[in-house]
Amino acid sequence: MRKTAANLLAAAALATSLATVFAGTATADPAVLPNSQDIVGVGSDTTQAVLNQLSADYNATVTNPSAPHLYSWDAIPAGTITTKSGATPITRPNGSGAGITALNANTSATVDFARSSRAPQPTDPTTDDFVALAKDAVSWAAPSGGNAPANLTTQNLKDIYTCTVTNWTQINASLPNATIKPFLPQTGSGTRSFFLTTIGGGTAVNPGACVTSGTQENQGSDPALADVNALVPYSVAHYIGQVYFGKGSGADVQGPLTIRSVDGTAPVDTVNKTISSAFAATPYARVVYNVFRDAEWTATDVHGTTLRAIFGRGGWICANGATTIKSFGFLPLSSFACGSVTHS
Amino acid sequence: MTRISARLASTGAAVVLALTAVSGAAVADTPATAPAAGQAVITTDVNFLSAAALKGIVVIPLQPANPTFDPNAGLTVTLPVSGGAANIPAFYGDVQFGGGLLFLNLSTGRSVTFKQFDFSVANGYFTAVPNGSTTPVPLLDPAGDNVINRNGLTQNLNSSSFQVDAEGATYLDAKLGTTFFTAGQQVGSLALSYTPAH
């Protein structure tokens, strides 16, 4: 089984590399059923593509076929997944919050880590260790040629998402007299959670009745977002990956959306194809994480040692992942920050 | 640790504490005016202290830095937060500290004083400005396992390892006329607590 799996993995890795080179597409769910000792993650949509690539890159370095490999399950499509051999089938977690919930509801027999695009919250168990992966930012996007302006202030965004402001003319009298259509990602989305907290100045705002929830985050292809009055929060890194590095595929593309400025600061450095340094210094910048159970993260057994060797400070991702992380639009963290643990 | 090195470490610590008492008035840092609060507690390994003492090197905290000594835990130096604007969980900003550290080589009679300690959260190192200069030197690095959390407004960073920065080692060796300091040299551990101005 292991040799076959190794061969399959090698073939999958080759296929992945070829696909990446020729089509620029992101890999998706594991091509084979991971073994019970493999390290398996679920959760965030924002970081699923970069984790898929990091997993393929890491697995290509594992020469011992019986050693734990790294796998990551995408946030969609909806349904039930069996994450690894012997695992309890679970509803596929769609987003950071759902991934963290799955992590806490299961054991390493089913889920080893949760991808998270949000930081720890007071409601998270203190036994969840958020291990820093990279830096991202969240801005907002709207369809090209639509009625949204190039820039909105934090107060504008708060007013729009609390439905205090519902017409573009309330933002600026020169804008079209049309009803604003604010959208939010699904409730389990880390991007949604971070955005609502940031526009609230640190306290999450409650979306008003004018807001439509449930669009899949970072997917500008959603037909609802083609509306000229639409706007939606968007991961800047994910956008850069889609637009500049060809990392989108299928529905996971920017579609007609372009990412816009907040408080006069443009989120993208279009020359260097990265998050602008000015935007990275605003409250809209965020760290993205992988979340582990503390007892496993700190354990001295093979499992704990492997987790830290892959995700921890000086581990494989921190030592080797910067190029891949940048190619997906994220900013690599310093050697101090990468792999550091944060918890609530 | 040998009995001799332990004795030297204790002697060094005694020198540190004695000198601290008389050094404060002469070299006291500029009073902190920022409303930010907190501290950086550096717990120095007994092994580092004894090895330094064997080379004639002692480290003297300067007020308002506050030293304490425990034979098992080693020398603990507390640097009070004097200002800053940082979000440690998001890895950006800087935290400034009052007090200073005097590094003294008893073998050569040479010394260097560092003040204006600054923790660059993004870069993950402590810089300090040596006497006779205005240029900060990267001096110490939190290393090992870093654990960060919030408790209300207070941000905490605990680092299992606190090490000499490569640039700091070169600078210290040159200033003190020694080869004792090396990049990545284990000094001890760090516990940083920071409450932003509010």
A75-89: per-residue pLDDT in tens?
Answer: 999 999 999 999 999
CA angle B179, B183, B185 (to 5 degrees): 85
Q: Which chain A positions have a beta carbon within 8 Å of B90's beta carbon?
A: 119, 285-287
Residue B20, pLDDT > 60, answer: no
Q: Give percent of chain A above pLDDT 90.
A: 85
d(CA A322, CA A330): 9
Residue B96, domain extent: 3-195
Q: What is the largest CA-CA distance in chain A?
A: 67
Q: What is the mean pLDDT of residues A194-211?
A: 94
Between A101-110, B78-87, B149-158, the lowest mean confidence (pLDDT) is in: B149-158
Q: Is A90 helix (H, G, I), strand (E, B) or coil?
A: strand
Q: Compare B16 and B43 and report the one with higher pLDDT.
A: B43
> CATH code for A136-280?
3.40.190.10
Outline where DSSP puts E strands in A55-127. Answer: 70-72, 80-81, 90-91, 113-116
Q: What is the pLDDT of residue A235?
A: 96
**Residue among A134, A172, A167 nearest A334 (CA):** A134
Which residues does chain A have within 8 Å of residue B125's beta carbon, measured at their own beta carbons?
A: 336
B contact test, residue of A342, A343, A344 with most B CBs within 10 A: A342
Chain A residues within 8 A of B149 when measuring between CB atoms: 120, 126, 342-344
- Who among A281, A313, A335 is closest to B92 (CB)? A281
Label residue B13 by pLDDT band (50, 70, 90): very low
The yes-or-no verdict on residue A16 having pLDDT over 80 is: no
Quickly tell me which residue has 């959760």 as its tokens. A43
Query: Residue B24: is its pLDDT beyond 70?
Result: no
Nearest 10 degrees: Cα torsion A258, A261, A266, A268:
-30
Percent of chain A with pLDDT over 70: 92
Which H or E run contains A316?
Answer: helix A316-320
The residue that leads in pLDDT, B42 or B26, is: B42
A267-292 pLDDT, tens digit each: 999 999 999 999 988 889 999 999 99
**A309, amino acid identity:** A
Selecting from A126, A333, A341 the residue whose C-beta is nearest the C-beta of B91 gives A333
The shortest CB-CB distance from A334 to any of B89, B124, B147 is to: B124
Q: Considering its fold, how many domains does chain B have in total? A: 1
Work out the minimum CA distance from A126 to partner chain B, whole angstroms.
9
CA torsion through residues A106, A107, A109, A112, sign: positive
Whole-angstrom distance, CA of residue A203 vs CA of residue A218: 23
Which residue among B124, B146, B150 sits closest to A341, beta carbon to beta carbon?
B146
Mean pLDDT (chain B) is 85
User: What pLDDT digit, counting tens, does each position of A46-67 carry?
Assistant: 999 999 999 999 999 999 999 9
Q: Which residue of chain B comes nearest to A286, CA vs CA?
A: B90
The H-or-E segment that residue A260 falls in is strand A257-262
Looking at residue A27, its pLDDT comes to: 56
Question: Average pLDDT of A229-236?
Answer: 98
pLDDT at position A95 over 80: yes
pLDDT above 70 (res B97):
yes
Residues 62-121 of A with CB under 8 A from B: 119-120
Tell me the domain boundaries of chain A: 2-135+287-342, 136-280
| pLDDT score of B14 more than 70 | no
Facing residue for B149 by CB, picked from A285, A313, A343: A343
Lowest mean pLDDT: which of A134-143, B25-34, B140-149?
A: B25-34
- pLDDT tens track for B130-169: 999 999 999 999 988 889 988 878 999 999 999 999 999 9
Residue A6 pLDDT > 50, yes or no?
Answer: no
Q: Read off φ and ψ for residue B169, nearest 5 degrees.
A: -60, -45
Structural contact between residues A263 and A110, judged by C-beta atoms closer than 8 angstroms: no
pLDDT at A168 > cutoff 50: yes
A127 to chain B: closest CA residue: B149
Residues of A with CB below 8 A from B162's CB? none
A contacts of B142 (beta carbons < 8 Å): 336
Closest CA to B98 of B78, B120, B70: B78
Contact residues, chain B, for A119 at CB < 8 Å: 89-90
Residue A12 has pLDDT above 70, yes or no: no
* Confidence check: pLDDT of A344 > 80: no
Q: What is the dihedral of CA A185, A191, A195, A197, to 10 degrees?
A: 110
The SS3 of residue A169 is helix
Using the beta-carbon criterion (under 8 Å), do B148 and A341 form an inter-chain contact?
Answer: yes
Do the domains A2-135+287-342 and A136-280 sit in the same CATH topology, yes or no? yes
Task: Report in angstroms the alpha-carbon separations of A329 from A291, A297, A324.
Answer: 21, 27, 9
Please write the tens of the pLDDT for every residue from A145-162: 999 999 999 999 999 999
pLDDT for A278 equals: 92
Neighbouring-strand partners of residue A332: A134
DSSP SS3 for A179: strand
What average pLDDT is seen over chain A? Answer: 91
State the alpha helices, DSSP H only, in A63-216.
96-105, 154-161, 190-199
In chain A, residues 270-289 whose CB comes closer than 8 Å to chain B: 280-281, 285-287
DSSP letter for each residue of A263-293: TTB-SEETTTTEE-HHHHTSTTEEEEEEEEE
Could you tell me the pLDDT band of residue A125, with boundaries at 50, 70 and 90?
A: very high
Residue scoring higher pLDDT (A324 or B71): A324
The CATH classification number of A2-135+287-342 equals 3.40.190.10
Predicted pLDDT at B1: 41
pLDDT higher than threshold 60 for residue A195: yes
pLDDT tops 50 at residue B11: no
More confident residue, A8 or B174: B174
Question: Could you give the CA distance from residue A258 to residue B176 in angstroms, rounded to a whole number?
Answer: 57
User: Is the model more confident about A226 or about B20?
Assistant: A226
Residues of B in contact with A287 (CB under 8 A): 89-91
